[in-house]
């Protein structure tokens, strides 16, 4: 399935929350949605999930309009918000059963589906627990389970890892990768760019409601006019190693990143250049303990293309 966001525009009073935004992704993709706070991500997600309507533009799921046919779209997508709504005196099983009924899933099929989802999300031992008694991590699993109840083709996830501890984040990442491997399209926003780096095939970067860049993560990285970076750990004086590095013609930049660590940059991508830089630094008397190339990340791309402005 192809998901096309076409020329979305959404205005609240005088605030242009989403400004002529267009991008696309497909089933099987994990697409990261990235932008500073106040960039229009949640507004865009609400329109994609048919919760809100744009002032102009549309979202098409294999040609089915979210504007014209929101009920059809609601059966195609699973929407996972960033938190579980406050609901008291209801158990995990009752909550999932309720949403299964909302999608007209017959009783026998509903029981089978809930059991499968409980196993997938690790909620089997929690089925009789009341929602308000769950930890943050378990509540996020319930959010995911609810979004999966009708076996949607596309998952739309708004900050699914917000507030989770490292172990819970790792487990969530693995579940997302499994869903994509099964052919579901995953569209997720997150401020934790290191997590997106590990799982995303493609990404959409916006700021002030406007598209800055989109495409395969590898393409976004290739588009950057970037230098090659090396992390250098050393013994001795910081000022001395910075001065020695700046004196080497191949080095275009030096940045201190730790007490005994700097990152150096060069525009020369060759192995010969790296060897020459290391040899020159050692020749200048620098006691190098580690000299490692740094891969460009999605976070690097984000920092290069955004300015940090909000509406």
Query: How does pLDDT run along the chain (311 residues), one tens digit per residue?
Result: 999 999 999 999 989 999 999 999 999 999 999 999 889 999 999 999 999 999 999 999 999 999 999 999 999 999 999 888 877 789 999 999 999 999 999 999 999 999 999 999 999 999 999 999 999 999 999 999 999 999 999 999 999 988 888 898 999 999 999 999 999 999 999 988 888 988 999 999 999 999 999 999 988 887 776 788 999 999 989 999 999 999 999 999 999 998 999 999 999 989 999 999 999 999 999 999 999 998 888 888 888 888 766 55
Q: Tokens 């959409």 map to which residue?
A: 204
CA gap 135, 148 in Å, rounded: 20
User: What confidence score (pLDDT) does residue 11 get?
Assistant: 97
User: What confidence score (pLDDT) does residue 308 get?
Assistant: 66
User: What confidence score (pLDDT) does residue 218 get?
Assistant: 85
Q: Which CATH number is 228-295 given?
A: 3.30.70.100
Between strands 77-80 and 154-158, the pairing is parallel
**Per-domain residue ranges of the chain:** 2-218, 228-295
User: What confidence score (pLDDT) does residue 307 get?
Assistant: 78
Q: Which residues contact 101 (CB under 8 A, 6 or more apart)?
A: 110
Q: Are 159 and 82 in contact (CB under 8 A)?
A: yes
Specify the CATH class of 2-218 in words: alpha beta
CA gap 254, 230 in Å, rounded: 10
Fold match between domain 2-218 and domain 228-295: no
DSSP string for 193-262:
HHHHHHH-SEEEEEETTEEEEEEEHHHHHHHS---EEEEEEEES-HHHHHHHHHTSTTEEEEEEEETTEE
User: What confidence score (pLDDT) does residue 66 get?
Assistant: 97
Phi, psi dihedrals of residue 194, rounded to the nearest 5°: -65, -35
State the SS3 of 245-296: HHCCCCEEEEEEEECCEEEEEECCCCHHHHHHHHHHHHHCCCEEEEEEEECC
CA gap 114, 203 in Å, rounded: 31
User: What confidence score (pLDDT) does residue 311 get?
Assistant: 55
CA gap 132, 141 in Å, rounded: 13
């Amino acid at each position: 399935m192809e998901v096309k966001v076409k020329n979305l525009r959404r205005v609240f009073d005088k605030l242009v929350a989403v400004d002529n935004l267009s991008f696309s992704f497909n089933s099987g993709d994990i697409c990261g949605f990235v932008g500073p706070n106040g960039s229009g991500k949640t507004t865009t997600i609400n329109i994609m999930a048919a919760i809100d309507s744009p002032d102009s533009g549309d979202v098409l799921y294999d040609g089915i309009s979210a504007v014209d046919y929101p009920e059809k779209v609601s059966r195609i997508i699973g929407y996972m918000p960033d938190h579980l709504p406050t609901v008291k005196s209801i158990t995990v099983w009752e909550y999932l059963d309720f949403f299964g009924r909302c999608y007209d899933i017959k009783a026998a099929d509903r029981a089978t589906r809930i059991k499968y989802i409980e196993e997938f999300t690790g909620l089997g031992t929690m089925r009789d627990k009341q929602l308000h008694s769950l930890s943050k991590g378990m509540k996020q699993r319930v959010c995911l389970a609810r979004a999966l109840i009708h076996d949607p083709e596309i998952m739309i996830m708004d900050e699914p890892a917000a507030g989770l501890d490292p172990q819970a984040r790792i487990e969530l990442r693995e579940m997302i990768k499994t869903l994509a491997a099964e052919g579901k399209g995953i569209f997720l926003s997150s401020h934790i760019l290191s997590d997106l780096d590990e799982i995303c095939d493609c990404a959409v970067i916006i700021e002030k409601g406007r598209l800055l860049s989109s495409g395969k993560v590898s393409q976004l990285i290739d588009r950057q006019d970037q230098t090659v970076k090396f992390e250098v750990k050393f013994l001795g004086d910081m000022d001395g190693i910075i001065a020695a590095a700046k004196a080497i013609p191949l080095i275009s930049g030096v940045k201190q990143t730790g007490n005994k660590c700097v990152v150096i940059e060069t525009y020369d991508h060759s192995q010969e250049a790296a060897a020459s830089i290391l040899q020159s630094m050692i020749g200048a008397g620098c006691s190098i303990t580690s000299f490692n190339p740094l891969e460009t990340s999605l976070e690097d791309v984000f920092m290069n293309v955004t300015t940090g402005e909000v509406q």
